Amino acid sequence: MDDDESDGIGKPESTEQRASGGVNSVEVGLSLLQPLLEAGTPLTLKAISSALGMPPPKAHRYLASLIAAKLVQREHSTPRYELGPLAVRLGFAALGMLDRDGLARRAMSRLAMETHTTACVVMWADKGAIVVAVEPGPGTIFTGLRIGSHLPLLHSATGRLFLAHLSSMQTASHLILEDCVPPEADPELAKALRDIRTSGVSGIRDGVMLGMSGLAAPVFNHEGGIHCSLTLVFQTYAVKSEKVVSMTRQLRSAAEDLSHQLGFVKRDMMADQAETKGSK
Average the pLDDT over each of 35-49, 84-98, 139-153 and give the range with the smallest value.
84-98
- Mean pLDDT of all residues in 80-85: 88
Collapsed DSSP state (helix, strand, coil) of residue 191: helix
Rg (CA), the chain: 23
Which pLDDT does position 76 carry in this prediction? Answer: 80
What pLDDT is stored for residue 23 in this prediction?
Answer: 67
Q: Which residues pair with 130 in a beta bridge?
A: 123, 150
Q: What is the mean pLDDT of the chain?
A: 83
CA dist., res. 94 & res. 46, Å (int) = 30
CATH no. for 3-96+266-279: 1.10.10.10
SS3 of 83, please? strand
Fold agreement (3-96+266-279, 99-261): no
Q: Tell me the whole-structure pTM to 2 decimals.
A: 0.67
Q: What is the mean pLDDT of residues 56-64?
A: 90
Going from the C-alpha of 215 to that of each of 54, 72, 145, 164, the distances in angstroms are: 42, 41, 14, 14
Domain covering 99-261 in this structure, CATH number = 3.30.450.40
Domain map (residue ranges) of the chain: 3-96+266-279, 99-261
CA angle (123 as vertex; 118, 124 as ends), nearest 5: 140
